[in-house]
Structure 1
Amino acid sequence: MGPLPLERLQPSPAFSYCSVDLFGPLTIKDTVKGRTRGKAYGVLFNCMSSRAVYVDLADGYDTSSFIMVLRRFTSIRGYPKKIRSDLGSQLVSASKELKEVVKSWHWDTIKMFGNGNGMEWEFTKAADAPWENGCSEALIKSVKKSLSLAIGQSIMTFSELQTVLLEVANILNERPIGTSTSDPNEGTYLCPNDLILGRASSNVPVGHWDESDNLKKRWKFVQQVVNTFWRKWHRDYFPSLIIRQKWHVSKRNLQVLDLVLVQDNNSFRSNWKLGQIVEANSSRDGVTRDVTVRYKNIGPGTKYTGTQDLLIRRSAHRIVVLLPVEEQC
Structure 2
Amino acid sequence: MTLAKLQVKFWVPGARRVIKSVKEKCVICKKTDKVRMEQQMGQLPEQRLKPAPAFFNTSLDLFGPMMIRDTVKRRVRSKVYGVIFTCLTSRAAYIDLAEGYDTDSFLSTFRRFVSVRGYPHTIHSDMGTQLTSASKEIRDMTSRWNVTEISKFGSHQGTAWSFNKSADAPWQNGVCEALVKSVKRLLVIAIGENVLSFGELQTVVFEVANLLNERPIGLKPGYDINLGTYLCPNDLLLGRASNKVPNGPMVDTTDVRKRFSLIQSIITSFWRRWMRDYFPTLTVRQKWHTAHRNLKKGDIVLVQDNEMIRGKWKLAQVCQAEPGRDGKIRDVVLRYKNLSSDSIYKGKGDRLINRSVHRLVLLLPVEDQGM
TM-score by length of 2: 0.52
Distance 2:51 2:68 in 1: 39
CA shift, 1:167, in A, is 0.5
Residue of structure 2 equivalent to 1:190: 231
CA shift, 1:165, in A, is 0.4
Q: Find 1:72's aligned residue among 99, 105, 112.
A: 112
SS in 2 for 1:126: coil
Q: Find 1:4's aligned residue among 44, 47, 64.
A: 44
CA shift, 1:152, in A, is 2.2
Letter in structure 2 aligned against 1:103: S
**Bigger-Rg structure (1/2):** 2
Structure 1: any 5+ residue segments left out of the alignment?
206-242, 249-329
Q: Find 1:143's aligned residue among 183, 191, 198.
A: 183
Q: Find 2:163's aligned residue among 94, 99, 123.
A: 123
Alignment deviations for residues 238-296 of structure 1 (CA, whole Å, 9 cap, x no partner): xxxxx998589xxxxxxxxxxxxxxxxxxxxxxxxxxxxxxxxxxxxxxxxxxxxxxxx
Distance 1:127 1:99 in 2: 12
Given that 1:29 and 1:158 are in contact with CA atoms closer than 8 Å, whether structure 2 keeps it comes out as yes
Distance 1:51 1:104 in 2: 30
CA shift, 1:163, in A, is 0.4
Distance 1:145 1:181 in 2: 29
Distance 1:15 1:26 in 2: 26
Residue of structure 1 equivalent to 2:89: 49
List aligned pairs for 1:181-220, cutoff 5 A.
Answer: 184-185=224-225, 188-203=229-244
CA shift, 1:203, in A, is 3.0
CA shift, 1:91, in A, is 4.4
CA shift, 1:190, in A, is 1.4
Letter in structure 1 aligned against 2:231: L
Distance 1:92 1:49 in 2: 26
SS in 1 for 2:242: coil
Distance 1:246 1:71, change over 3 A: closer
Count of aligned pairs between the two proteins: 212
Given that 1:88 and 1:100 are in contact with CA atoms closer than 8 Å, whether structure 2 keeps it comes out as no
Letter in structure 2 aligned against 1:189: Y
Residue of structure 2 equivalent to 1:36: 76
Structure 2: any 5+ residue segments left out of the alignment?
1-40, 247-283, 290-371
Given that 1:23 and 1:94 are in contact with CA atoms closer than 8 Å, whether structure 2 keeps it comes out as no
Q: Are 1:62 and 2:102 counterparts? A: yes
Residue of structure 2 equivalent to 1:152: 192
Q: Compare the two structures and name the one with the higher strand fraction.
A: 1
Alignment deviations for residues 88-139 of structure 1 (CA, whole Å, 9 cap, x no partner): 4654666212212212211222122111110010010101322111111121
Distance 1:43 1:202 in 2: 22
Distance 1:192 1:245, change over 3 A: closer
**Higher RCO (C-alpha under 8 Å, 6+ residues apart):** 2
Query: CA RMSD, aligned part only?
Result: 2.6
SS in 1 for 2:150: helix
SS in 2 for 1:51: coil
- Range with greater deviation from structure 2 (186-195 or 142-151): 142-151
SS in 2 for 1:189: coil
CA shift, 1:146, in A, is 3.7
Given that 2:128 and 2:147 are in contact with CA atoms closer than 8 Å, whether structure 1 keeps it comes out as no
SS in 1 for 2:82: strand
SS in 2 for 1:11: coil
Distance 1:58 1:199, change over 3 A: same
Distance 1:182 1:6, change over 3 A: same
